[in-house]
Amino acid sequence: MKPSEFIGDEVRYDRDGQIFWGVKNENQLQMIAELRGWGAIQNIFKEKGTINGEKAAMFQDEVGEWIARAINEKLERERKV
């Protein structure tokens, strides 16, 4: 089995749980990964010693969406081969 077969047709990022879901047949979900890194991300958004959690959470989701897009681009390239 290839990784792309395990992942499915596409990857969706779940902002509520910071989870990457592989999607098959539009409705079969398989958890494939979890976004980690809050410890580092929150420290990027320290302002006068206080963490701006809202900005950090928004950035974390931006990173998650970026990763999902990258995986989906890879899946699309492999389908064309």
Q: How far apart are CA 81 and CA 74, in angstroms?
A: 11
Q: Quote the DSSP letter at residue 80.
A: H
Residue 15's alpha-carbon distances to 18, 44, 58, 74, in angstroms, are 5, 19, 9, 21
Which position has the higher pLDDT, 37 or 81?
A: 37
Phi, psi of 22 (to 5 degrees): -85, 135
pLDDT digits (tens, 9 = 90+) for 46-76: 988 999 999 999 999 999 999 999 999 999 9
pLDDT digits (tens, 9 = 90+) for 2-35: 999 999 999 999 999 999 999 999 889 999 999 9
pTM for this entry: 0.89
Report the pLDDT value the prediction gives residue 27, as an integer from 0 to 100: 86
What sign does the dihedral 20-79-3-24 (CA atoms) show? positive
Report the pLDDT value the prediction gives residue 26, as an integer from 0 to 100: 81
Ranges of each domain in the chain: 3-80
